[in-house]
Amino acid sequence: MALSASVNPERYRTARAFCLTSAVWFGAAASFGMIGAGYLIAPDFMANIGFIHFGKTRPVHVNLVLFGFVTPGLLAAAFYYVPRLLRTDLYSEKLGVFTAVLWNITLPAAVISLGMGYTQGREYAELPWLVDILIAILFALVVFNIIMTIRQRREKILYVSVWYVSAAVVLTGLTYSLGNVIWQPSTGALLGIPDAILLWFYGHNVFGLLLTPMGLAVAYYVIPRATRSPLYSHTLSLIGFWSLIVVYTHIGTHHLLQVPVPTYLKTIAIVDSVAMVIPVMVVLINLWYTVKGKLGEIHADIGAKFVFTGTIYYFFVNIQGSMMSLPIVQRVTHFNNWVVGHAHIGVLGFAGMTALGGIYYILPKITGKPLYSKFLADLQYWLILIGITGFAIVLTIVGLIQGQAWINGETIYRVLPEIHPYYVSRAMLGVIILAGAYIGIYNVIRSLYFNSGETS
Amino acid sequence: MRMTPVTILVGVLAILAAVVFVMVFWPYTHRDMTPSEIYRTRSPGEESGRVIYIQNGCVYCHSQSIRTIDWGPGAERIAQAGDYVGDKPILLGSQRTGVDLSQEGGEHPDDWHIAHFIKPRYTRPNSIMPPFRWLGMQKIKTLTQYIQSLGYKQADHRMQRQRYWKQESIKAYEAGPEYNVKWLAEQVPAGWRNIPNPYPTTPAGMQRGRKNYQDFCIGCHGPIGDGMGPAQPWIYPPPLNFTILKGRQISGGIIYYQIMNGITGTAMPYFKRELESQKIWEVGDYVAVFFINQSDANADPRGIDAAWEP
């Protein structure tokens, strides 16, 4: 295969930069998560270090996972497949690399400000105004680069992945600014109950309009390519895309079912949360039928293996999510570790797995050499798969213990000792995930810069 | 359907605009900002405490959102939209690793909170909250001010009660052990004072009592019941030294009642939410047997023998 001949070192610099960004910040984000898990077992272990105590570590972990690991990982793939699918070059590699550099300035700024207590105090919208502005600029730069690439395309038809990724960056730029109340620099918040409504509209759309469409875009690219089969159905692609944008945007209020917000908002949120079955199953039927009879090819390509596993977790997280939106279920699951498990299934199991898959799928193509180590990539796959599956099981059990105990009148203090062993096993699984993240950093850096392997 | 760039962009933006209108803008313009009957504005000190609360991510473990199905502290009042009209940002929280704080104001006196912030396990041995000693005493006090305002007017009412009984209990403590013990016993309704512990002293009961003592009491009263637990230096009046109670007519009923209801004004919380009846009797008997060295367990008057008794 004359791959190397087609790889000009100037091409795909943006994609490379984002691969590296994602890999490194995955390690950082997982480390912060690990510290948090440690606090839940032994709160005095790292006592009185203000910068990293639990209340700081947790938002740093969440923001780094979302904006340091998963988003850049999914963007790395996008900066490869968007030009490929449009039969052109990226509009500006310079701008792309600049975006990546600015991204890596923004993330430490986020860590430092949260560590120092500069926070808006709103989950998923913690980052202070200056960092918000940086992130809005970053999304604007990505939007500009992608739109201009689309404008200079030599392929008339836009493939599904291009729909998803352009919608994702445009809509997230807007909802991020809206959700962070960017016109109110001092507080970044509204007053009273409307603040909660806006916050969860935005908070849920981090998944609905950013991670999910960008993850699906990668899946729509990698799965047909790796299996060398045409996409199963154009009609299903259309239904899946439009129904995702319509349905997902409605459901944020399901975080507020037990809070005094207007009933019609809750009703819409519940109905649409259940209706999420449509965009999810339509996409999965489309992707899984594309793979039909060709699982061997998925298995043979480590990138596709990550991505395909991501689609399976996409199924789980959404079926679970629809269930959790039912008030009778939420009476047990709300406020406890069940939700933490759900978030990890979605963000690591689906979006994170898919981002890693995207990175490993494009790395040989953007470097012109095979991966530095397929073995390490495979090892990372298994470590993360075992880690996230364990998380799903352990945190769901903890959630059921807490939820059932509370609903029967046990107090928090009575339940805490009961869940301690589960926190311990969660931290042990965290070590496995952390090991996977560090192996990934090594493998990605070696593949990008110190790869002595033969050019393929 | 032809998916052109214009179709995609116009389509998704139109959908987003429509959804934002229905799910965010409409509820915002139709918001009801009528304060609820408990609402009052926060003092500047309480506002500064709230800033510390936000800066340190307290919201990740503590909700401020009481639901219809709750039992724990604050559950007597279901949250209303009017309770939040002064909150910017709103701090509902999404997890309850710790307790809900909607009505925390006045649940404990200030010294309990300060000991708790220095090291949460001083006052709550089972707590997994990280210590906040590093904040410094100034910030801990400001934060406590905010915590004591949670629940607004209801918190003020409880705080008034805390202050009154704090004075009373300090007076009693400073009058010496003899008077203090007498005063404490007199606060218990007469009926309770005459009730012996209805459970017999058994090794299993002692074992259970010991476990609950360690889970709930040891931080203040200490491992040998002399009131010299690690919280002691932070608390005034200091935790009771059980070893002074011998020969002072302390019945099982008195101990039970004080554990169940707590002693408002002092750092002694009530345990009726945490511990069911048998657990309180057994903790009481553990204290009586091991620390007071004088137990009335299963003594007369006993009534008709309970079915399970040997």
Q: Give residue A456's pLDDT.
A: 54
Mutation target to probe the B interface, by most B beta carbons within 10 A, among A88, A119, A123 is A123
User: What residues contact A333, with CB distance under 8 A and at least 6 apart?
Assistant: A324, A339, A399, A403
Task: Tell me if chain B has a CB within 8 Å of the CB of A39.
Answer: yes
Check: CB of residue A310 under 8 Å from CB of residue A219. Answer: yes
CA A430 – CA A307 distance, rounded (Å): 21
Which chain A residue has its CA at the smallest distance from B28's CA? A194
Q: Within a domain: residue B8?
A: no
Neighbours of A10 (CB within 10 A): 9
Note down pLDDT in tens along chain B; length 310 residues: 889 999 999 999 999 999 999 999 999 999 999 999 999 999 999 999 999 999 999 999 999 999 999 998 899 999 999 999 999 999 999 999 999 999 999 999 999 999 999 999 999 999 999 999 999 999 999 999 999 999 999 999 999 999 999 999 999 999 999 999 999 999 999 999 999 999 999 999 999 999 999 999 999 999 999 999 999 999 999 999 999 999 999 999 999 999 999 999 999 999 999 999 999 999 999 999 999 999 999 998 888 888 877 6
Nearest of A104, A82, A96 to residue A163 by alpha carbon: A82
The reply to whether residue B56 touches residue A336, judged by beta carbons under 8 angstroms, is: no
What does the buried/exposed string (b/e) look like for B222-241 if buried means 16 or more CB atoms within 10 Å of the residue's CB?
Answer: beebbbbbbbbebbebbbbb
The reply to whether residue B94 touches residue A255, judged by beta carbons under 8 angstroms, is: yes
CA A239 – CA A216 distance, rounded (Å): 14
Residues B49 and B141 in one domain: yes
CA A282 – CA B102 distance, rounded (Å): 43
Q: Within a domain: residue B190?
A: yes
* Side chain identity, residue B131: P
Nearest of B4, B5, B7 to residue A146 by alpha carbon: B5
B 185-224 residues with CB < 8 A to A: 215-216
Residues B211 and B138 in one domain: no
> What is the least distance, in Å, from the CA of A259 to any CA of chain B?
7
Which residue in B22, B68, B130 is closest to A43 by CB distance? B130
Max CA distance (Å), chain A:
69
Residues B182 and B250 in one domain: yes
Q: Within a domain: residue B49?
A: yes
- Where does a domain end: B131, B157, B183? B157
> What is the least distance, in Å, from the CA of B69 to any CA of chain A?
7
B 4-33 residues with CB < 8 A to A: 4-5, 8-9, 11-13, 15-16, 19-20, 22-24, 27-28, 30-31, 33
Mutation target to probe the A interface, by most A beta carbons within 10 A, among B53, B91, B95 is B95
Task: Tell me if chain A has a CB within 8 Å of the CB of B56.
Answer: yes
Neighbours of B190 (CB within 10 A): 7
Tokens of B17: 């605009």
Tens digits of residue pLDDT in A33-55: 999 999 999 999 888 898 999 99
Residues B152 and B179 in one domain: no
> What is the least distance, in Å, from the CA of B182 to any CA of chain A?
32
**Nearest-5° angle of CA B163, CA B165, CA B171?**
105
Tokens of A410: 């046990």
The reply to whether residue A192 touches residue B90, judged by beta carbons under 8 angstroms, is: yes
User: What integer is the mean pLDDT of A324-353?
Assistant: 96
Which chain A residue has its CA at the smallest distance from B98's CA? A412
Check: CB of residue A162 under 8 Å from CB of residue A85. Answer: yes
Tokens of A370: 């095979």
**Nearest-5° angle of CA A136, CA A81, CA A290?**
120
Q: Within a domain: residue B60?
A: yes
User: What integer is the mean pLDDT of A318-331?
Assistant: 96
CA B236 – CA B169 distance, rounded (Å): 9
CA A91 – CA B255 distance, rounded (Å): 78
Check: CB of residue A182 under 8 Å from CB of residue A136. Answer: yes
Does ipTM exceed 0.90? yes
Which residues of chain A have a CB within 8 Å of the CB of B4? Answer: 158
Task: Tell me if chain B has a CB within 8 Å of the CB of A152.
Answer: no
Nearest of A176, A170, A212, A240 to residue A355 by alpha carbon: A212
* Banded pLDDT at A5 (limits 50, 70, 90): very low
Q: For residue A400, count CB atoms less than 10 angstroms from its CB and return exposed for 0-12, middle for 13-18, buried for 19 or more.
A: middle
Task: Tell me if chain B has a CB within 8 Å of the CB of A54.
Answer: yes
Mutation target to probe the A interface, by most A beta carbons within 10 A, among B1, B9, B90 is B90
Which residues of chain A have a CB within 8 Å of the CB of B13? Answer: 170-171
Q: Within a domain: residue B201?
A: yes
The reply to whether residue B133 touches residue A48, judged by beta carbons under 8 angstroms, is: yes
Check: CB of residue A154 under 8 Å from CB of residue A121. Answer: no
**CB hemisphere CA count around A267 (13 angstroms):** 4
DSSP string, A245-262: HHHHTTGGGGGGTTSSS-
Tokens of A85: 């699918």
Which chain B residue has its CA at the smallest distance from A60's CA? B57
Give the alpha-carbon dihedral of A80, A81, A87, A92, to 10 degrees. Answer: -40
On average, the pLDDT of chain A sits at 95
Q: Which domain CATH number covers B56?
A: 1.10.760.10
CA A8 – CA A19 distance, rounded (Å): 17
Which residue in B65, B96, B135 is closest to A336 by CB distance? B96
Which residue in B20, B27, B96 is closest to A412 by CB distance? B96
Residues B59 and B141 in one domain: yes
> What is the least distance, in Å, from the CA of B53 to any CA of chain A?
9
Neighbours of B159 (CB within 10 A): 18
The reply to whether residue B5 touches residue A151, judged by beta carbons under 8 angstroms, is: yes
Which residue in B9, B30, B60 is closest to A170 by CB distance? B9
Domains located in chain A, CATH noted: 8-449 (1.20.210.10)
The reply to whether residue B216 touches residue A253, judged by beta carbons under 8 angstroms, is: no
The reply to whether residue B31 touches residue A194, judged by beta carbons under 8 angstroms, is: yes
Q: For residue A323, count CB atoms less than 10 angstroms from its CB and return exposed for 0-12, middle for 13-18, buried for 19 or more.
A: middle
Residues B88 and B57 in one domain: yes
Is residue A242 over pLDDT 90? yes
Residues B81 and B149 in one domain: yes
Task: Tell me if chain B has a CB within 8 Å of the CB of A403.
Answer: no
Tell which wins on pLDDT, A352 or A6: A352
Q: Which residue has the tokens 């470097």?
A: A367
Which residue in A40, A166, A265 is closest to B27 by CB distance? A265
Residues B203 and B237 in one domain: yes
Residues B220 and B260 in one domain: yes
Which chain B residue has its CA at the smallest distance from A269's CA? B23
* Banded pLDDT at A435 (limits 50, 70, 90): very high
* Banded pLDDT at A1 (limits 50, 70, 90): very low
Q: For residue B115, count CB atoms less than 10 angstroms from its CB and return exposed for 0-12, middle for 13-18, buried for 19 or more.
A: buried
CA B57 – CA B97 distance, rounded (Å): 13
The reply to whether residue A201 touches residue B20, judged by beta carbons under 8 angstroms, is: yes
Residues B148 and B184 in one domain: no
Looking at the 3D structure of chain B, how many domains does it have?
Answer: 2
Q: Within a domain: residue B26?
A: no
Which chain A residue has its CA at the smallest distance from B126's CA? A413
Q: Within a domain: residue B135?
A: yes
The reply to whether residue A195 touches residue B30, judged by beta carbons under 8 angstroms, is: no
Q: Give residue A6's pLDDT.
A: 53
CA A374 – CA B169 distance, rounded (Å): 72
> What is the least distance, in Å, from the CA of A341 to any CA of chain B?
12
B 73-112 residues with CB < 8 A to A: 73, 79-81, 84-99
* Banded pLDDT at A451 (limits 50, 70, 90): confident
Provide the residue range defining the domain that includes B109: 44-157
Tens digits of residue pLDDT in B149-207: 999 999 999 999 999 999 999 999 999 999 999 999 999 999 999 999 999 999 999 99
Residues B153 and B188 in one domain: no
B 30-49 residues with CB < 8 A to A: 30-31, 33
Mutation target to probe the B interface, by most B beta carbons within 10 A, among A111, A156, A335, A415 is A335
Tens digits of residue pLDDT in A347-371: 999 999 999 999 999 999 999 999 9
CA A246 – CA A105 distance, rounded (Å): 34
Which residues of chain B have a CB within 8 Å of the CB of A189? Answer: 88-90
Which residues of chain B have a CB within 8 Å of the CB of A398? Answer: none
Check: CB of residue A22 under 8 Å from CB of residue A73. Answer: yes
Residues B259 and B180 in one domain: yes
User: What residues contact A403, with CB distance under 8 A and at least 6 apart?
Assistant: A331, A332, A333, A334, A335, A336, A338
> What is the least distance, in Å, from the CA of B32 to any CA of chain A?
9
Task: Tell me if chain B has a CB within 8 Å of the CB of A166.
Answer: yes
User: What integer is the mean pLDDT of A235-255?
Assistant: 96
- Where does a domain end: B104, B127, B157? B157
- Where does a domain end: B129, B157, B185? B157
Is residue A16 over pLDDT 80? yes
Q: Within a domain: residue B301?
A: no
Give the alpha-carbon dihedral of B127, B133, B137, B139, to 10 degrees. Answer: -80
> What is the least distance, in Å, from the CA of A191 to any CA of chain B?
5
Mutation target to probe the B interface, by most B beta carbons within 10 A, among A39, A46, A54 is A54
Which residue in B3, B28, B54 is closest to A194 by CB distance? B28
Tens digits of residue pLDDT in A152-192: 999 999 999 999 999 999 999 999 999 999 999 999 999 99
Mutation target to probe the A interface, by most A beta carbons within 10 A, among B41, B54, B152, B270 is B54
SS (H, E, C) A49-67: CHHHCHHHHHHHHHHHHHH
